[in-house]
């Protein structure tokens, strides 16, 4: 095993199109180098996957600008199935590397529009079905 392999991870990205309608689709990224990849670079990788993967076509009309930790492998999950509303300090800064954000193999992150998230936080119990 090389040293690079120690820092490669599989990360699940929960792409949230809409909070009220609970519209979420998972994107699994493999072989992400935690030591060299920044949060900003990861966002660009995710946006490219959304734009080039046909399964994500309905998700292309959202301005995704924020990554937030949802859960780590074998960690406890939040009661909210759409996003972790606790710990806004878990929102990741673009300039930092993934390893410095304590991202590890099998971590789940949420990718969403920050403005929509702030609106959702004011009324998280509202669900729309239509």
| Residue ranges of domains in the chain | 3-121
Q: What tens digit of pLDDT does each residue of 32-41 get?
A: 999 999 999 9
Q: Give backbone dihedrals phi and psi of 49, rounded to 5 degrees, phi first.
A: -65, -40
What per-residue confidence (pLDDT) applies to 80? 63
- Widest CA span in the chain: 51
- Alpha-helical regions (H) of 1-130: 3-6, 39-52, 114-121
pLDDT at 6 over 80: no
User: Which CATH code fits 3-121?
Assistant: 3.10.20.90
**Helices vs strands, H then E, count in the chain:** 3, 4
CA–CA distance from 75 to each of 33, 69, 92, 104 (Å)? 21, 12, 18, 12
- What are the start-end ranges of the E strands in 86-125? 108-112
Percent of the chain scored above 90 by pLDDT? 71
For all residues of the chain together, what is the average pLDDT? 89
pLDDT at 1 over 60: no
């Amino acid at each position: 095993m090389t040293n690079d392999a120690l820092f490669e991870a599989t990360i699940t990205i929960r792409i949230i199109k809409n909070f009220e309608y609970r519209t979420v689709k998972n994107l699994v990224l493999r072989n992400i180098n935690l030591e060299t990849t920044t949060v900003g670079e990861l966002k660009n990788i995710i946006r490219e996957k959304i734009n080039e993967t046909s399964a994500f076509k309905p998700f292309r009309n959202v301005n995704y600008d924020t990554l937030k930790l949802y859960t780590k492998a074998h960690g406890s999950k939040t009661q909210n199935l759409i996003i972790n509303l606790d710990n806004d300090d878990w929102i990741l800064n673009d300039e930092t590397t993934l390893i410095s954000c304590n991202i590890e193999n099998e971590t789940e992150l949420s990718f969403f529009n920050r403005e929509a998230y702030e609106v959702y936080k004011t009324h998280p119990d509202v669900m729309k079905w239509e």
